[in-house]
Structure 1
């Protein structure tokens, strides 16, 4: 593969984001109960978080974000999307999606959760604060849902062809809304602190950008590849030899 076909900016930004995530992970691990972001985290929680008596968190939009980071989202990104890409003849893109999902939500998210082990927001009903409204696993930092959202956002931009400027604008807008919406939903249900979600986005985007850089030459080949079912078949004579066009 030709390294010149790999945009260096993808690698630079990806590594920069991952370095920031590592630095924040070390800072949180040094004081899991009161990291340097705790003041902002507390203020955001008081503003956004709701209690079990509210029905906002069970609405259609919040539940879409909830399921995106759970089994339905895993099935979508680990099975359905790769299979569809493979059917379209874009098997390299399918491998890219699988690599991003395994490295981001799979490896980085769980590794940091176990290393940092930050407690989830705890209930303090006297202060009008509540704990997670849905079942959660251990470790609040980083948000696994946010890692998934960041990774998927990059996948959207990387895999959807920017045929026109408007298509790139729409794709980018959807990617941004996906990330912002995930931050909102995870803090709405008190599953994470604000800084957990921002670190999760950075981790997901960072991993996906680095792997985009790695897969860039293969993805370029897939973009110009015609799906097998749209290719024109050359007619052949009775003995199986292709017929030549005559003028």
Structure 2
């Protein structure tokens, strides 16, 4: 009974998170389809001027955004999935890979639908292919950091520090995209929001699947978590 109540709480939290996040995301979607707003344009031009005046900072931003780009997160999640499979947590590994793939595909689809051009700045310090909304870097950083954090959370002692580190990586990657002039503020905010919504939605979906009898209840837990459950 207690386990079922816990499941209900988790599903409720996940469902509410999706609903709360998707409302502002849809507003940003409308903004992206409208003529360029003053906030997006003003921030893009100010940061571009700073980047031109500080080439050393610009170089550091490029290194950072490349180091924590989409491919880096995809590789990290793939390695995490392999580790989980070896520990017997196959369902959790499937959730991690599925969440990363679904989020990436959804972001690419929205880019095509919205078809927003990237900032057109004179003398750009960086270039990027494809459409602008939402930011793929911000989306994948949110997905990757969130997946890794939620997966290893039962094994961590300092969870507050882990949450802080995850959000630090997400925010800094998002900021580099605006500072380098390849995205608007609304692009990166939308990328982060979409990532949070996808994670919450897949958590709810996989919790329901796991509890429906598709697999043993303990299959979605890391081995260390399973052993502690048996002791209790």
* TM bucket, shorter chain: 0.7 to 0.9
CA distance in 1, matches of 2:62, 2:124: 17
Tell me the C-alpha RMSD between the 2 structures: 3.0
Unmatched runs of 5 consecutive residues or more in structure 2: 212-216, 228-232
Map 1:23-62; keep pairs closer than 5 Å.
23-29=27-33, 31=34, 33-34=35-36, 38-49=37-48, 50-51=51-52, 54-59=55-60, 62=62
Q: 1:81 to 1:46 in 2, by over 3 A?
A: same
CA distance in 2, matches of 1:83, 1:120: 36
CA distance in 1, matches of 2:146, 2:70: 19
Q: Describe the superposition over 1:38-57 as per-residue Cα deviations: whole angstroms up to 9, x where unpaired.
A: 21112322333323971323
Q: Describe the superposition over 1:139-172 as per-residue Cα deviations: whole angstroms up to 9, x where unpaired.
A: 11110111111212321332123467x6220111
**SS of corresponding position for 1:51:** helix
Map 1:184-223; keep pairs closer than 5 Å.
184-216=175-207, 218=210, 221=218, 222-223=220-221
CA distance in 1, matches of 2:118, 2:82: 36
CA distance in 1, matches of 2:55, 2:38: 25
| Max Rg structure | 1
Deviation larger for 170-179 or 214-223: 214-223
CA drift at 1:227: 9.5
Deviation larger for 201-210 or 151-160: 151-160
CA distance in 1, matches of 2:16, 2:125: 36
Aligned residue-pair number: 214
CA distance in 2, matches of 1:204, 1:95: 17
CA distance in 1, matches of 2:142, 2:224: 29
CA contact (8 A) 2:178 2:185 kept: yes
CA distance in 1, matches of 2:203, 2:86: 21
CA contact (8 A) 2:70 2:136 kept: no
TM (normalized to structure 1)?
0.75
Q: After TM superposition, where is structure 1 displaced by more than 4 Å over at least 4 residues in a row?
A: 1-4, 217-220
Q: Describe the superposition over 1:56-85 as per-residue Cα deviations: whole angstroms up to 9, x where unpaired.
A: 2332x65243243243333332x3221122
Unmatched runs of 5 consecutive residues or more in structure 1: 125-129, 231-247
> What residue in structure 2 maps to residue 244 of structure 1?
none
Q: Which structure has greater helix proportion?
A: 2
CA distance in 2, matches of 1:98, 1:155: 9
Map 1:1-247; keep pairs closer than 5 Å.
5-6=7-8, 7=10, 8-29=12-33, 31=34, 33-34=35-36, 38-49=37-48, 50-51=51-52, 54-59=55-60, 62-77=62-77, 79-105=78-104, 107-124=105-122, 130-131=123-124, 133-134=126-127, 136-162=128-154, 167-216=158-207, 218=210, 221=218, 222-223=220-221, 225-226=223-224
